[in-house]
Structure 1
Amino acid sequence: MRKIIVLEHVSLDGVIQAPGGPDEDNSGGFAYGGWEAPYSDEILGTLLSKQMNMPFDLLLGRKTYEIWAPYWPQHADVWPGAIKATKYVASNTMTSGEWQPSVFLCGDIAEKITQIKQQQGPDLHVWGSGDLIQTLMKRDLIDVFWLMIYPITLGSGKRLFAGGTIPAAFKVMESKVTPNGVIVVNYERAGAITIGSL
């Protein structure tokens, strides 16, 4: 079975919108695009490269696909895996795209993704795709959160844990703090929440 791994740049207050640049996604009047750039360093770059060079297919929401499709084919030398990977795109409005190989999913997205998870193949990496992530969380389809948590609050913007969040337990499989204060942590799904008293 394939795992769904959500990889996100996230602020301390949970914002995942437009970390890469000012023009990446300014919907809702978001004015802080490019907020991750001041925190880049060699350690973070090495950790990102490790993830980007693993075998994977991509599972993306339509908006992230539309942002990435014109960009990554022009930067194949930076991330060749994204060019080779099958791009599964969750969209009820988009049925084709030039960035190939791409498979467009419509209708009951969660059911179709459940079927894809059960197939043979590499793990499915989700970047960005905030709306899709809410759907995946509601259906308990996420196996791993691989998060880069930045020492910054943004106050507004699209959040990682929003309308789809369910009660769930996770265990830390790996963690590191970069010299610029980014906490890189790998949370793997660990069943139901257990409670007690102190």
Structure 2
Amino acid sequence: MNMSRNLIVTEYISLDGVIEDPVGMEGSGLGDWTGPFERGPDGDRFKIGELFDSSAVLLGRATYDAFAGVWPHVKDDTGFAERINSMPKFVVSNSLERAEWNRTTILRGDGPQQVAKLKAGEGGDILVYGSAVLVHALIEHELVDEFRLMVYPTVLGRGKRLFPAGTKLPLALERSQKLGSGIMLICYRRAGQAAEPRSAA
């Protein structure tokens, strides 16, 4: 399949692979499991940079609802809030009736099929935050080009994991770096896949 845009999954993840509800606001009962740790200036720069280097954000319904309830009301000195509020956003959902967040398009129908069409169109990198159920479907349909993981030094014992049981996915390490209070940034591409030129709009 010839894809012209990179689809990048960026996640906070525990040592045992959990990506669910990292700040404890989604009712999972896991608590704010990222809160006790600092990612430091390098981590902040990385998160800001990856957003500004991307041209669109893709989200599942639950993560969209959480983000849409917060980011329109945030002002920050880094420009992160202004960037995410002003850039194109896509939410995969057959139940969301209207998207109130600025510049949001609802992708209805077959999610992976809709995302494949999005990838095949014009534009730069597409960034996926959270969205465990959507990410599982994208992994199954081989639509993810890159994983950017901030691995937190904590074991949760339960919760939605990045890779469902039975997943087989060869990856190639692109970057690793220690951040802040023991967090590891680890970036992988799908093995055998060359990085596409990056551009943001």
Q: Offset of 1:55 from its aligned partner?
A: 2.9
For the residue of structure 2 that corresponds to 1:132, the secondary structure is helix
| Distance in 1, Cα, partners of 2:177 & 2:150 | 10
- How many Å apart are 1:76 and its aligned residue? 4.5
1:33 aligned onto 2:31:
yes
Q: Which amino acid aligns with 2:132?
A: G
Aligned residue runs from structure 1 range 140-155, under 5 A: 140-155=142-157
Query: What amino acid maps onto 1:19 in structure 2?
Result: P
Gaps of 5+ in 1: 193-198
Question: In 2, distance between residues paired with 1:133 and 1:55?
Answer: 18
Which residue does 2:197 correspond to in 1?
none
Q: Please, what TM-score do these two structures have when normalized by structure 2? A: 0.86
**% identical aligned pairs:** 33
Task: Tell me which residue corresponds to 2:198.
Answer: none
2: CA distance between counterparts of 1:79 and 1:113? 24
SS of match in other structure, 1:39: coil
Q: SS at 1:116's partner residue?
A: helix
Deviation at 1:58, TM superposition (A): 0.7
| Structure 2, gaps ≥5 residues long | 194-201
Amino acid at match of 2:41: E
- Pairing 1:14–2:17 present: yes
Pairing 1:116-135 to 2, within 5 Å after superposition: 116-135=118-137
User: Which structure would you say has the larger RCO, counting Cα contacts within 8 Å and 6 or more residues apart?
Assistant: 2
Contact 1:7–1:126 under 8 Å retained in 2: yes
State how far apart, in whole Å, the 1-side matches of 2:148 and 2:172 are.
12
Q: Is the 8 A contact 1:25 1:33 kept in 2?
A: no
Per-residue deviation, 1:63: 0.5
State the one-letter code of the partner of 1:84.
Answer: S
Aligned partners of 2:51 and 2:59: how far apart in 1? Answer: 15
Q: What CA distance in whole angstroms lies between the structure 1 residues aligned with 2:147 and 2:109?
A: 25
The 1-side partners of 2:113 and 2:44 are apart by 35
Considering only aligned residues, what root-mean-square deviation do their CA atoms show, in Å? 1.7
1:46 Cα deviation after fit: 2.3
1:177 matched residue in structure 2: 178
- Which AA in structure 2 matches 1:43? D
Query: Secondary structure of the residue that 2:149 maps to in structure 1?
Result: strand
Cα distance in 2 for partners of 1:65, 1:186 equals 24
**CA drift at 1:52:** 2.6
- In the alignment, is residue 188 of structure 1 matched against residue 186 of structure 2? no
**Does the CA-based 8 Å contact 2:54-2:127 persist in structure 1?**
no
Deviation of the 1:157 alpha carbon: 1.2
Structure 1 residue 167, shift from structure 2 partner: 1.9
Measured in 2, the distance between the counterparts of 1:55 and 1:123 equals 5
* Residue-pair matches, total: 186
Match of 1:103 among 105, 111, 121: 105
Amino acid at match of 2:172: K
Q: Distance in 2 between matches of 1:131 and 1:190?
A: 23
Q: Is the 8 A contact 1:11 1:149 kept in 2?
A: yes
